[in-house]
Structure formats: C-alpha cells, structure tokens
Amino acid sequence: MGSTFFHASLEYAQQLDREDSLRRFREEFYLRPDTIYMDGNSLGLLSKRAEKTLLESLEDWKHYGIDGWTNGTHPWFFLSEKLGESIAPLIGASPDEVIVTGSTTVNLHQLTATFYKPKGEQTKILADELTFPTDLYALQSHLRTRGYDPDEHLICVKSRDGRLIEEEDIIEEMTDEVALIILPTVLYRSGQILDIKRLTAEAHKRNILIGFDACHSIGAIPHSFSEWDLDFAYWCNYKYLNGGPGAVGGLYVNRRHFGTSPGLAGWFGSRKDKQFDLEQTLTHTESAGAYQIGTPHVLSVAPLIGSLEIFAEAGIENIRRKSLAINQYFMDLIEHELADLGYVIGNPRLDHQRGGHVSLEHKEAARICKALKENGVIPDFRSPNIIRLAPVALYTSYEDVWKVVQTLKVIIEEKQYEKFSTGREIVA
C-alpha cells in the first residue's frame, strides 16, 4: 500500500529532507562526494565519532601499554560489558544480558554448543532455507560433531515463493524431535521480519529452546528480546550499527540461563574478580559475559564506542520511524517511475513485516548493479536477481533515494547495463 501523500518530484524529496528530524546526523558520517551509498545493510559507513574513539584507543595503547586494561580513555577490561549496556536498549534487554564479543558465526557456535542438548528422540535442529548460509554451516558442523547426519537432523523450513517464510510453516515443524530452533529476525534477501514474539511463544509451548540471528535488524528495528522471552540471540555490529569492517559482534542470553556453563569455555568468560587468579577451573560470570571466549579485539571494537553514542542520541524508535517512511517513499517512487521497466519489489509491504532495506528484483540485476556503481550508486547484489538497496535512517536523504530511482530508470531506458557481464563480482 502506498503513502497517503506522495509526489514524484525532486522538490517533494527536498521538502521531506527539510522535515526530517534526524537530518543532522548525516553530517556525522563520511559520505563520498558524488556517491550515494545504499549498502549500509552490508557494511555501514564510518562516522566521525567512530573514527575518534578508534584513535583514542590507539592513544591508550600508545601511552599506557599493558596498563590500558584499566587506564586511559576507554579501559579495555570492562569494555565488552560497557558496550553491552549501550546495545541493550536497542534490543530491549537488561545490560547484563548483552555482551559485545566474537563474531556472528563464532557466537552462533558458542550458543549452539551451550544450548543444543539432544536427548532421546529430541535431536533435531530447526532452521529455514532462506537464512544466511553461515548459520547453516555452523549448525551442520555441530550435528556432525555429535554424530548426527545433517541431512536428517537439520530441518530447513521451505519457502512457498522463494522470498518469504510463513510462520505457520515454521510452527508446523516444531515437533517432539526438535531440540533447538535458530531463525533470523529479518531475512537477509527479502527483508521480511519474522514474528519473533509469536515464534518464541510457540517454541516454549513445546519445551524447545529458540535463538535468533539479529544481523539484519539490530540498529534498524527496535526489539523487546527480554519481554518476548527468547532464549538467546547473536549479531554483527558492522551493518546498521556502523562498527566497521570485521567489527566485533554481540550476543544476548536470557537471564534465566545465567549459570549455564558455556559450551565453548574461555578465560574471558571468567568472573571478573577471579579472572587473573588463573585457576585451572573456570568460574564463569553470572551474566551474558560468561559466553565470551577470548581476549576482546580492542581495535575492532573501539569504533563501536563512538557509533553507539549516535544511536543513544538519535533513539532507535526515531530511527525505525524514518526507516519505514523513507523506504515507503522509495517503494512509492519505484512503482511510479519504474513500473514498466521490469523491476519488481520483492520485500513485504506492511510496516510490521519489513526490515530496513528494499529488495528490488530484475532479471538483469547483476548487470544493473554494475551500472549503478558506474553511476555513483553503491548497491548490493544477491544472486540471481536481487538488488538490495538500504536507505539508512542516519545518513541517507530522500533526495538520495529520488536520485537512485532516476538512475535505475536511465540504466534500463539507455540500456547501460548491456556493456557489463552477467556474473557477480568477487564481493557481491
């Protein structure tokens, strides 16, 4: 359904920018001249504050050496916990339920090792076929190490149309044989939001633990993880949270699981007052911090310090409000300008079902993405036919969106895409 008020003119886009309550944050980010960045759902842009806190951490290392663990602008020893406190409001959790550590896949390995406890006939893991493949790789490896055949013990819920997953289909697969469920909060291709609250409640009715991959929602969509009572979640911090390439990830563990021994134990999961006793038996902390494994990668977490300051100021509810509005404007403009050029919107239309990006389909998607780059627009291609475009609330303007749509139009009308090969680039 389109917006109630909509105009296709550049002047209307500029008016929307003047009315944008978050417009001042655009100045916080390094935006390349003559380039429109639409790939923040893969890697967010660098902010000036993230640069500042990274440089401050380098100064801490320069001036304090080993004493940087407890001294300096950003002491390292409690840094993961401090950042967990900053992220907690974005996902609706208590500060001690969140820790910044590891990476998406490492954290999934940790949480699966901790909470996948097959017994009797309850041995299977439930996922979906549209999830990001790294999750499936990790789950397959855990089944193999337990002596189970992934072809039999990993259930992947099928999509009816190749774009979306129906919650009813997931619930139908929650049988007595399922020991653990791993699902995305937002599907990375179509941008569909799953009903996390409903799925968690249905899993718990059947005494099944459930966890979520929040990579494509954290920083774009507010959540209420503790209220919804999910067992755990994990995510990266380099997409909407702008933590930088390879930024340290994060995880959430519901407090009712505090005290559960980590499946993959390491010394940074120690109780802080005991950590440097260096005893041969781990005394893990009674918080999400227990699921840390090794020493935090300080220089890969430092940019997040500054980035999260921006999110605290902007407010996740305000970010979501603009994200919904600018994506609706984007879809309205696509339908108005590109209707007869082969483009199809593949993401859900309803606000409560769509995440932070537009999934635009076209049979020439691979070549169109290359043409977009030549025209100064940075998109994201997903095989075989998806152009992912993410107007990020903090730094994308309505005028940017208007210009992207005009570029998409010209690429087809002038057949600019024809000079490019059909294969994807090394990094899509």
Q: Is 133 annotated as a binding residue?
A: yes
24 and 90 share one domain: no
Within-domain flag for 424: no
Here the CATH number for the domain that contains residue 115 is 3.40.640.10
Task: Report whether 213 belongs to an annotated binding site.
Answer: yes
**Segment 373-400, tens digit of pLDDT:** 999 999 999 999 999 999 999 999 999 9
CA distances from 224 to 93, 156, 172 (A): 7, 26, 25
123 within domain boundaries:
yes
pLDDT in tens, 242-294: 999 999 999 999 999 999 999 999 989 989 898 888 898 999 999 999 999 99
Amino acid (one-letter) located at 168 = E
What the block records as the tokens of 318 is 């305000």
Residue 1 inside a domain? The answer is no
**Residue 159: domain span:** 51-313
Residue 277 shares a structural domain with residue 371: no
Give yes or no: residues 229 and 357 share one domain: no
φ, ψ (nearest 5 deg) of residue 216? -100, 15
Q: Of 293, 313, 333, which residue is a domain's last?
A: 313
Question: Where are any strands of DSSP class E within 214-282?
Answer: 232-235, 250-253
* 306 & 344 share domain: no
- Tell me whether residue 267 is annotated as binding: yes
Residue 424 has pLDDT above 80, yes or no: no
**Domain membership flag for residue 5:** no
- Per-residue pLDDT of 297-313, as tens digits, reads 999 999 999 999 999 99
Q: Is 228 annotated as a binding residue?
A: no
Task: Indicate if 296 and 151 belong to the same structural domain.
Answer: yes
Q: In this predicted model, what pLDDT tens digit does every residue of 130-141 receive, in sequence order?
A: 999 999 999 999
Residue 301 sits in the same domain as residue 325: no
- Position 1 scores a pLDDT of 40
Is residue 60 marked as binding? no
pLDDT at residue number 315: 98
Same domain? For 304 and 328 the reply is no
Percentage of the chain surpassing pLDDT 90?
94
Same-domain status, 234 and 99: yes
**126 and 14 co-located in one domain:** no
Torsion, Cα 161 162 168 169, to 10 degrees, reads: 110
Q: What's residue 173's pLDDT?
A: 98
- Residue 42 forms part of a structural domain: no
Q: Is 67 annotated as a binding residue?
A: no
Q: Is residue 44 part of a domain?
A: no
pLDDT digits (tens, 9 = 90+) for 52-67: 999 999 999 999 999 9
Mean per-residue pLDDT for 318-335? 98
pLDDT of residue 3 exceeding 80, the answer is no
Q: Are residues 234 and 336 in the same domain?
A: no
Portion of the chain with pLDDT greater than 70, in percent: 99
Query: What pLDDT score was predicted for residue 4?
Result: 55
CATH number at residue 323: 3.90.1150.10
**AA letter at 155:** I
The answer to the question of whether 74 is labelled as a binding residue is no
Q: Do 65 and 192 share a structural domain?
A: yes
Question: Does residue 229 carry a pLDDT above 70?
Answer: yes
How far, in Å, CA of 265 to CA of 280, rounded? 12
Burial of 32 (C-beta count, 10 Å sphere; 0-12/13-18/19+) = exposed
Q: Are residues 164 and 306 in the same domain?
A: yes
User: What pLDDT band is residue 425 in, cutting at 50, 70 and 90?
Assistant: confident
Confidence band, pLDDT 50/70/90 cuts, at residue 428: low
Q: What domain count does the chain have? A: 2
> Quick check: helix, strand or coil at residue 38?
coil
pLDDT at residue 2, as a whole number: 44
Interstrand relation of 358-361 and 344-345 (parallel, antiparallel or unpaired): antiparallel
